[in-house]
Amino acid sequence: MTSTNIGLAEVETRAPAPQPAPDRDWWRGAVIYQIYPRSFQDSNGDGIGDLRGILMRLPHVASLGVDAIWISPFFKSPMRDFGYDVSDYRDVDPMFGTLEDFDAVIAEAHRLNLKVMIDLVLSHTSDEHPWFRESRASRDNPRADWYVWADPSPDGTPPNNWLSIFGGSAWMWDTRREQYYMHNFLAEQPDLNFHNPEVQEALLAATRFWLERGVDGFRLDTINFYFHSAGLESNPPLPRESRDYSTAPSVNPYNYQDHIYDKSRPENLEFLRRFRALLDEYPGKAAVGEVGDAQRGLEVVAAYTGGGERVHMCYSFDFLGPVKVTAERVRQVLETFGAVAADGWSCWAVSNHDVVRTASRWTAGEADPHAYLKIVAALLMSLRGSVCLYQGEELGLPEADLAFEDLQDPYGIRFWPEFKGRDGCRTPMVWDSHQPNAGFSGGKPWLPVPAEHITLAVNTQEGNEASMLEHYRRMLAFRAAHPALVKGAIRFLAAEGDVVAFERELGSERLLCAFNLGAGEASLSLPEELRAVAVPGHGLEGRSENGAIRLGPYAGWFGRLA
């Protein structure tokens, strides 16, 4: 220690403490809390959540025990798809605040030991993006080939049969160029042409902008949609028995095709290598990709995450679709992924801003929906992989049932009433049951706050050990206390009926995990070599007895193996 005199004041100066090296592997096994900014917290009374609102509520997120936040898009946008139609990759939409507000979120999150990941929408832009305005102006301007343009078929119809997820053809006629442009989503979301190297460079430069600003990583929207087949071949039909409705609802004809030419193209692998190389310039940065492919989801995740040279992790829609999670399905999905992606890494999720909330999607017919949701959460926190947790799931919020006149989502408006869209899972977060709009906003919220949500607000669950909120806190603390649950290997055990059982192992720690997803009593007999000593701290109600694990309805058990 040394001292220096400055006027009359004596100030002690110390050599700065050495900073630990960044944990480049923090993402492996991390729990990532997704924030949908429009609906998290409004700070200025306009009824729309914003960055300062996120700043206000970061202590709640930190109190859960998660490792990172993922913030859905807050970039400048005309909001046709609520921020997933970007008009400026390097600025904040005034609706959400300013770049300085975002800097404040990063600083506070880091103070609370939370990593910050942001949503990058690279596959398409808004039709109001300057790039597209220039591209559509003529066929020979500098950005004429930055989007996917094609001449019509001889009869004037689109060049092929590709469909938009949001309904209808994936091609929109443009009168300026007298050509069609491609849009996998809304017509106001034209697809970028990744076959053009200049497009890739521009997107990597936008990514670097946020890396320089201090983000810890990215969630990559529709990561398998970046490339299309340059030959524009029509997709073949998909037999009815092969259709899977996890990516699009059953009423959407998008499910009628095998999407082999308009997405999940092999050319994407080289771009992802370039993207990873950029991230690797910044120690400890990571990316998780969203893979929307009902037929080949796990194989795509394997290709994108294997070998350590593309993205760090991906999630597919295996547990996000309408098919209920079962013991058999959990084992089948995890073992399939382990077989096709031995060196890959998945990020599991049962909910997000695009699907019906778990409390409504899977609890029908369950004797105790509250207990069922708890055991599903405990199982999710125990699987090999990272986890995405969507805001409000820690409260057990059900899907909001909104009137047609309250809908904002163009997807739901298009397919109403058989499919009501995504607004039901995007209603405002409920904080305080005693405050107007449950503490979300002093103004009229952009979507209604359901009355049944108010009784589940944070303040009503805080400190109640039987609540969903405290269950999540216990399970997240339990997970963090056991490295085998975070990064360990997994080996499934033989089990019957509704029981899922497996070992997790890392170094000297071996845990046996068992979960009963059913409403009846269950047991799991163990051979002598798998006798384990119960590990407390999770609050689940299974027990070990005479060489077997006894599991009541929706019960779980953890044991330490020698």
User: Which residues are known to be catalytic?
Assistant: 221, 281
Measured distance CA(193)–CA(228) in Å, rounded? 8
Phi-psi region for residue 65, left (φ > 0), alpha (ψ -120 to 50) or beta? Answer: left
What residues have CB less than 8 Å from 241, skipping those under 6 apart?
none
User: What DSSP assignment string belongs to 256-323?
Assistant: GB--SSSSS-TTHHHHHHHHHHHHHTSTT-EEEEE---TTTHHHHHHHHHGGGSS-SEEE-STTTSSS
Measured distance CA(10)–CA(373) in Å, rounded? 59
C-alpha dihedral, 249 to 255 to 256 to 262, nearest 10°: 140
Q: How far is CA 155 from the centre of its chain?
A: 42
Check if the beta carbon of residue 96 is closer than 8 Å to that of residue 51: yes
> Tokens 């002093």 label which residue?
442
Measured distance CA(29)–CA(378) in Å, rounded? 15
Length of the chain: 562
Rounded to 5°, angle at Cα 84 from 421 and 72 = 90
| Peptide bond connecting 417 to the previous residue in cis, omega within 30 degrees of 0 | yes
> Tokens 């779980």 label which residue?
556
Token readout for 36 is: 């949908």
